[in-house]
C-alpha cells in the first residue's frame, strides 16, 4: 500500500483509513492508488462493520495535486487518467457504514470524498469548499452530485458556483456535517461514534443505507417499496 495511506483494522470491527501526506494531504496518483488498495482490502474483510476516513496533520485535505495536470498533454487527459484510477465509487459502494472526520482544510476532492461517506463530523477549525469553479473546472470528483444529494440543489448551488469556503458552523447548519466538536475532542468523539455504528446489526445497517439512498434516487412510491423489501430482509437477518 502507498506510504501516503495507512489502514488499521481494530478489534471492535472498525477499520480506519488515514491520509498520511501532511501538511495538506494533497491527492496525487500515489494517494489515489493507496486509497483504492485500502478500500478494496476493507471490502474483503468480513469482520469490518464500520469504516472511518481520517487524516494526519493539521488539515484533512486541500484537494488534488494540480501540478500533476501539467504532466498530461491536456487538462482533459489529466482528468481522464484520474477517472481511470477512481477511488470514489469503491468508497461509496462499501457495504458498511462510513464515517469521515474533517479538520482544517477540507477542499476540492478532499470535501468531495467526504461527501461520499454516510456521516461526516468536523472539528471546529474545519474549512470546507469546492474551489474548482474559480480555476475554470467543475468539481468532478462527484462534487456536483454528492453535495446536491446531501443538502439539495438550492443550498448546493451557491457553494459550487462561487467556489467560496464555509466554516464548520455553517457546514453544520446546511447539513453537510452531522456534528461539530472542539478539534481537541475529535479523536475521542470519532471512537465513540464509530463504535456506535459498528454495533448496529449488519443486515439492519445495510438496509438503512439502501433505503436512505433510495429516498434521493426514486419517487416516493418506489422508495416505499424499497423500504418494505429491505425491512423484510433485515428482519430475516439477510445482508443482501
Where are the strands (E) in 74-208, listed by range? 98-102, 105-107, 119-123, 127-129, 165-167, 179-181
The number of helix segments (H) and strand segments (E) in the chain equals: 10, 9
Q: What share of the chain is helix, strand, coil (3-state, %, to 5)?
A: 50, 20, 30
Which residues have a catalytic role annotated?
A: 112, 132
Q: Give the Cα separation of 210 and 61 in Å (integer).
A: 28
3-state secondary structure of 5: strand
Phi, psi angle pair for 81, to nearest 5°: -60, -40
Q: Give the Cα separation of 48 and 10 in Å (integer).
A: 9
Amino acid at each position: 500500500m502507498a506510504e501516503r495511506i495507512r489502514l488499521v483494522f481494530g478489534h471492535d470491527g472498525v477499520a480506519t483509513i488515514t491520509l498520511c501526506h501532511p501538511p495538506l494531504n494533497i491527492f496525487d496518483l500515489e494517494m489515489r492508488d493507496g486509497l483504492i488498495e485500502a478500500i478494496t482490502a476493507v471490502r474483503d474483510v468480513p469482520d469490518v462493520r464500520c469504516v472511518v476516513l481520517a487524516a494526519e496533520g493539521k488539515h484533512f485535505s486541500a484537494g488534488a495535486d494540480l501540478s500533476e495536470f501539467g504532466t498530461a498533454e491536456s487538462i482533459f487527459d489529466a482528468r481522464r487518467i484520474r477517472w481511470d484510477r477512481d477511488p470514489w465509487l469503491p468508497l461509496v459502494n462499501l457495504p458498511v457504514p462510513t464515517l469521515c472526520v474533517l479538520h482544517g482544510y477540507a477542499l476540492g476532492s478532499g470535501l468531495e470524498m467526504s461527501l461520499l461517506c454516510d456521516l461526516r463530523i468536523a472539528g471546529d477549525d474545519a474549512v470546507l469548499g469546492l474551489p474548482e469553479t474559480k480555476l475554470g473546472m467543475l468539481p468532478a470528483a462527484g462534487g456536483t452530485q454528492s453535495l446536491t444529494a446531501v443538502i439539495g440543489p438550492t443550498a448546493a448551488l451557491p457553494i459550487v458556483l462561487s467556489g467560496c469556503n464555509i466554516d464548520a458552523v455553517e457546514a453544520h447548519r446546511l447539513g453537510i456535517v452531522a456534528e461539530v466538536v472542539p478539534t481537541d475532542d475529535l479523536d475521542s468523539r470519532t471512537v465513540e461514534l464509530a463504535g456506535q455504528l459498528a454495533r448496529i446489526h449488519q443486515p439492519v445497517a445495510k438496509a438503512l443505507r439502501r433505503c436512505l439512498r433510495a429516498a434521493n434516487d426514486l419517487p416516493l412510491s418506489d422508495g416505499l417499496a424499497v423500504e418494505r423489501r429491505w425491512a423484510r430482509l433485515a428482519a430475516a437477518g439477510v445482508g443482501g
